[in-house]
Amino acid sequence: LCCFLIGNACVRGLLGWTRPERWLAASSFFPLSCIHTSCTALQRIGNWEKKNRIVYPPQLPGEPRRPAEIYHCRREIKYSKDKMWYLAKLIKGMSIDQALAQLEFSDKKGAKVIKEVLLEAQELAVKKHNVEFKSNLHIAESTTGRGRYMKRIRYHGKGMFGIMKIVRCHYFVKLVEGPPPPPEPPKTGFDQAKEYVQQLRSRTLVNTL
């Protein structure tokens, strides 16, 4: 029964997780020769890196072309995640050329790091992910995460001390092929009022005839 359902789902193009090719992509079949499932604390492969491994089935002739998605990240950058977030927010939704231009003339320490990450991701896109034009990419997602913090003692005057945190962060970026999407127009008061009236009109009476 489940094979029939899976087959049906595959044919209709839904339920990406049920496709059997995807399960075998990451780890090898035989338990003795599992080179890929390494659980050492130093080289744990994060979830973001695994997103590059998904393989979609070949597209049917009538379907529109699925744009290429490239996931790239850098771990344990010596910078604060809050300060890095401002740069990530700056380049969200821009084309890759515009993002590189903005980062080149930004005075922040994280700008240099993010620029390197973007250039690496662009190279990966062209070499491994079948992207034709390296400028035809835009940044779909860009986020920061907290890295491993270390606690150290900071000595103050008069024998006082404080505990300081040595802060590190991760940076994640997702490049998608194609021009950047047009920015959403800001929500006007009129739109909000229309929505409110629509909400009021769609109310129904409960537990009545």
Partner 1 sequence: ALVLMFPPLPRFRCLLQRCWQRLEGGLLPGFSGGQSLPWGPALGVQASAFLPQPVHDTNESNEAPSLLDSILWMAAPKKRRTIEVNRCRRRNPNKLIKVKTNIDVCPECGNLKQKHVLCGYCYAKVKAETRLIREEIHKQEGGPFNAPTVETVVLYDGEKPTEKDAGKRIIERARKRPSWFAQS
Can you give the binding site for partner 1, defined by CB under 8 A? 82, 86-87, 89-90, 101-102, 104-106, 108, 158, 160
Minimum CB–partner distance for residue 55 and partner 1 (Å)? 37
Minimum CB–partner distance for residue 82 and partner 1 (Å)? 7
Minimum CB–partner distance for residue 158 and partner 1 (Å)? 7
Minimum CB–partner distance for residue 154 and partner 1 (Å)? 16
The first and second tokens of residue 207, run together, are 């537990």
Minimum CB–partner distance for residue 66 and partner 1 (Å)? 30
Residue closer to partner 1 by CB (options 18, 106) is 106
Residue closer to partner 1 by CB (options 6, 100) is 100
Residue closer to partner 1 by CB (options 105, 155) is 105
Residue closer to partner 1 by CB (options 48, 88) is 88
Chain centroid to Cα 165, Å, comes to: 27
The first and second tokens of residue 13, run together, are 């193009």
